[in-house]
Amino acid sequence: MVKICGIGAGYVGGPTMAVVALKCPSIEVAVVDISHSRISAWNSKNLPIYEPGLEEVVKQCRGKNLFFSTDVEKHVYEADIIFVSVNTPTKARGLGAGKAADLTYWESAARMIADVSQSNKIVVEKSTVPVRTAEAIGRILAHNSKKGIKYQILSNPEFLSEGTAIQDLLDPDRVLIGGNDGPEGHEAIQKLKDIYANWVPEDRIITTNLWSAELSKLADNAFLAQRISSINAMSALCEATSAEVSQVSHALSKNTKIGPKFLNASVGFGGSCFQKDILNLVYICESNGLVEVANYWKEVIKVNDYQKSRFVNRVVTSMFNTVSGKKIAVLGFAFKKDTSDTRKTPAIDVCKGLLGDGACLSIYDPQVSEEQIQKDLSMNNVEWDYPIHLQPMSSTTVKQVNVVSDAYEATKDAHGICILTEWDEFKAIDYQRVFDNMQKPAFVFDGRNILNVDKLRETGFIVYSIGRPLDLWQNMPQQA
Ligand code: NAD
Ligand code: UDX
């Protein structure tokens, strides 16, 4: 029986290894992590992450050919193939701080692999890493391993999106495998291809050299984020000209050279990947002396920051230039719907902006806990980049923040509502009931463009929706 070990039981390692186990019953898959709490959650009824369909897959395979363990060394020792899905956050200090990827976790995984291995291994990079990381990892393995043990490193970046991870893994657009040229590299690529071939059609498995695979992942995220920043930049112009961004998006989407995806204007993109990976790309460009290229990608992040602060400005200016002491309901805190993940969620910056102006926030998210929201709002940006369990817990709670368990409670007596995540249940709220229980004038700021603006205006709300014509009320120049 082929044995696989997945190092890192996070948002990528957990679902990816679970789907490999589901689709390859003859392979034994052990997922290992240094976090005891994460592993015990994977072995319990309450999985550590919320992802539609994940629970069913885990239930089907756990204890059969899928195991979760903290015995990292044992499973690495036994494995033929090792998938490394450890976190690669933005470096917090030292050379390249604030931009470069922090490869500490990757390096320590590589050193451990070299320490415990007694047989040849294929080491698969699943984590998103800077281009040419495989070279560095190869050196660490070569210099630290027992004599005669051979490693083949493959780059097999993961393209899943949170919220649709299981669907994306079961039916991927493509699987990318980069490897070394030469017979041993080709053999390793073929072994990994054979695993995916259990459920992925062969024409969707792309093979490249190592560096193209590594760079393609950074390029992929940069291109996706750039589309969102492009449409968000257009949304600001729409507001200034009474054009409507959804109509502009629709027109763009019908151009087959552009296509329909990733054109939803929003309060800004979030998530653990886009900002981190673009910063990493910027750093790599700068390190290669490509200043203009670095500046080009930096703008994608600048526009995203502008979009979040523009939203806060719009809330404050609409509400008579102050939200001090006013209750504002925040609906949604996760960085997108169908996930409990709050890493780099735009809600953090928006809430911090409103708190800075003295607002009292009443926050409701269907999947994010009060503890998580309080932690996110009290942590500084550097702490926030690192996994929760590797950081000392912050005990501060933000006094002006109240986390509640439903949308009606959040909006009761509020002056305004901010929709920050596009959860489906927010579309089904009885907005007449909400309006009746709010302070007047009652404002809605739809940061995800999910609500029916005309209907809300008929109900009596003053409505701001990104990139759409403003209420006369709001038609005043925005502060920078
Ligand atoms: P995560 O923080 O959820 O999970 C990483 C896990 O690795 C943590 O549980 C951590 O404890 C564990 N870990 C760290 N060092 C370890 C070690 N030496 N031995 C064993 N376990 C160790 O991160 P994630 O969101 O799963 O992302 C992992 C990687 O995948 C990152 O490089 C990320 O950029 C990339 N990626 C993420 C996504 C996504 O949507 N989250 C998608 C594609 C790629
Ligand atoms: C992203 C990539 O899509 C995925 O390929 C990669 O593997 C990991 O990073 P993820 O961050 O999980 O996935 O979610 P994604 O669906 O890309 O959304 C990222 C952010 O962009 C979210 O905050 C989302 O709300 C926002 N977004 C997305 C928009 O604002 N508008 C859009 O049109 C699409």
Give the chain's domains with CATH numbers.
Answer: 3-218 (3.40.50.720), 266-475 (3.40.50.720)
Whether the CB of 13 sits within 6 Å of ligand 1: yes
- Angle (deg, nearest 10), helices 210-241 and 133-144: 140
Percentage of the chain lying above the pLDDT 90 cut: 91
In whole angstroms, what is the distance from residue 435 CA to residue 412 CA?
9
Whether the CB of 11 sits within 6 Å of ligand 2: no
Residue 159 CA: which ligand 2 atom is closest? Answer: 7
Query: What are the angstrom distances between the C-alpha of 454 and each of 85, 427, 462, 463, 465?
Result: 46, 14, 10, 9, 11
| CA-closest residue to ligand 2 atom 2 | 161
472 forms bridges with which residues in the sheet?
none
- Separation of CA 207 and ligand 1 centre (Å): 23
- 82 and 2 Cβ atoms separated by less than 8 Å: no
Least confident of 141-155, 198-212, 291-305: 141-155
In whole angstroms, what is the distance from residue 33 CA to residue 149 CA?
24
Confidence of residue 361 (pLDDT cuts 50, 70, 90): very high
* Nearest listed ligand to the Cα of residue 419: 2
Nearest CA to 336 out of 425, 387, 269, 386 is that of 269
Report the mean per-residue pLDDT for the chain: 94
Residues in binding site for NAD(+)? 8-13, 33, 38, 86-90, 127-128, 162, 273-276, 343
Identify the active-site residue in 24, 238, 273, 418. 273
pLDDT at 345: 98
- Angle (deg, nearest 10), helices 54-61 and 13-23: 50
Residue 163 CA: which ligand 2 atom is closest? Answer: 12
Confidence of residue 480 (pLDDT cuts 50, 70, 90): very low
Query: Which of 86, 116, 218 has most ligand 1 atoms within 8 Å of CB, for mutation?
Result: 86
**pLDDT at 57 > cutoff 60:** yes
- Separation of CA 34 and ligand 2 centre (Å): 28
Beta-carbon contacts of 129 under 8 Å, excluding residues fewer than 6 positions away, are: 88, 101, 103, 106, 155, 214
Per-residue pLDDT reduced to its tens digit, 305-339: 999 999 999 999 999 999 999 999 999 999 999 99
Query: Which of 175, 224, 344 has most ligand 2 atoms within 8 Å of CB, for mutation?
Result: 224
Q: What number of residues does the chain have?
A: 480
- Separation of CA 171 and ligand 1 centre (Å): 22
Look up 360 and say whether it is catalytic. no
In whole angstroms, what is the distance from residue 100 CA to residue 6 CA?
25
Per-residue pLDDT reduced to its tens digit, 101-128: 999 999 999 999 999 999 999 999 999 9
Whether the CB of 285 sits within 6 Å of ligand 2: no
- Separation of CA 269 and ligand 2 centre (Å): 7
* Nearest listed ligand to the Cα of residue 31: 1
Residues in binding site? 8-13, 33, 38, 86-90, 127-128, 162, 273-276, 343
- Angle (deg, nearest 10), helices 346-356 and 370-378: 70
Query: Which of 106, 217, 272, 342 has most ligand 1 atoms within 8 Å of CB, for mutation?
Result: 272
Confidence of residue 34 (pLDDT cuts 50, 70, 90): very high
| CA-closest residue to ligand 2 atom 25 | 336
- Separation of CA 409 and ligand 2 centre (Å): 29
| CA-closest residue to ligand 2 atom 9 | 273
Confidence of residue 381 (pLDDT cuts 50, 70, 90): low
- 470 and 324 Cβ atoms separated by less than 8 Å: no
Least confident of 10-19, 286-295, 394-403, 425-434: 394-403
Per-residue pLDDT reduced to its tens digit, 387-419: 443 444 444 677 899 999 999 999 999 999 999
User: Can you give the pTM of this predicted structure?
Assistant: 0.95
Strands of the sheet containing 3-7, edge to edge, are 66-69, 28-32, 3-7, 81-84, 121-125, 151-155, 175-179, 205-209
257-270 burial by CB neighbour count: b if 16+ within 10 A, else e?
A: eeeeebbbbbbbbb
Whether the CB of 314 sits within 6 Å of ligand 2: no
Residue 339 CA: which ligand 2 atom is closest? Answer: 12
* Nearest listed ligand to the Cα of residue 85: 1
